[in-house]
Homo-oligomer: A and B are copies of this chain.
Amino acid sequence: MANTSADKPNIRQVARLAGVSHMTVSRVLNEYPHIKEATRRRVLEVIEELDYRPNMAARALATQKSQRIGVIVESAVEFGPTSTLRALEATARGTGYAVSSIALEDGHRISPQEAVDNLTTQGVDALCVVAPRSSSIAALRKISINIPVLVVKPDKDPSFLTVSLDQKEGTTLAVDHLVSLGHRDILHLAGPLDWLDARARERAFHARAKSWGVRERPIVVGDWSADFAYDFAKGIRDRPDYTAVFVANDDMAVGLIHGLHERGIEVPGDLSVVGFDDVPLAAHVLPPLTTVRQNFRALGVAIVDLLRAAIEEREIPRVTKIPAELLVRSSTAAPRGEDS
């Protein structure tokens, strides 16, 4: 199976053993159509025998394409961005692309400019920006980049290719669930509003709440962290005048429930809480969290489809809407004094 000599065989060695020119080998590798079947088989046999692998660096140099997608994620700790990244990587690998990723915020902060530099220096064929802050997008817009750029963000943007998970649908599902339980006084604990996803959830919440005639409270803006929500809950003075909280992500929902618990406010008895993300622990925290699950796998596929089309200068395919799903668990119930 393996060749005896330690160093890697190259295309010319394959060619020599197969009795053809190295160009024919190259054509076999690249599935050029007009190769005689016998020749192709002979070449493939030699490739197998030598365990030959094409040298990607050489190929990249010759073709000016690296078969690599660069990904910039806003943060490597939040559930949404990391899930998107993983899905994207898996899909990309399936289609022969490699992925290089870089987190803007992972310990210390890296500027969008640095991230783009790092990735373009690696010679990526396209760039994907996941779950960004509006400030990152603004910075990005100022950088001249001559490869396709896709941004995963809620609204279309003429400067970039865009895809998104439908934040509106997920949020609507959550609000409708609370309303159907009988809640009419709902607080929204939002993510940082410079995150476009947080902003989109906030807007969708506002719109849906209004259309149901829900009495909204001024929203509380958090930072995605359980700590923040915990501190917020601990700081509540009187019994709240709302009966439910729609929280922009599960981490904050869990922190909120923790803080509420310490203040003697029970979920869902005194207050219903619905989260967003369906993190792995959401089903097992106490009480198990009602939350919204998004389809990251489909998102990954959509991203790679678009990017490949852009790289290969094919027509950009239309992306179908990616549905969200509400998972009703135990952190939501009818408000007190209401029969479900």
Contact = CB atoms under 8 A, between A and B. Distances in A.
Interface stretch (A52-60, A164-172, A236-244, A302-310): A52-60
A148 to B, nearest CB: 14
A76 interface: yes
Contacts of A123: 55-57
A66 interface: yes
Shortest 4 CB-CB contacts between residues of A and residues of B: A57-B60, A226-B284, A258-B284, A57-B61
Contacts of A6: 146
A254 interface: yes
How many copies altogether?
2
Given A57-B57, A86-B103, A123-B57, A254 B284 contact: yes
Contacts of A258: 284-286, 288
22 contacts: A2-B144, A6-B146, A53-B121, A56-B122, A57-B57, A57-B60, A61-B61, A76-B86, A77-B280, A86-B106, A90-B103, A90-B107, A93-B118, A226-B280, A254-B281, A254-B284, A257-B286, A258-B285, A261-B286, A281-B281, A285-B286, A286-B286
- Tell me what chain A mostly uses at the interface: helix, strand, loop, or mixed: mixed
Interface residues of A, number: 53
A82 B55 CA distance: 29
A227 B280 CA distance: 9
A193 interface: no
Interface string A233-263: 0000000000000000001001101100100
A102 interface: yes
Contacts of A279: 281
Contacts of A90: 103, 106-107
Contacts of A257: 284, 286
Contacts of A226: 280-281, 283-284
A280 B261 CA distance: 19
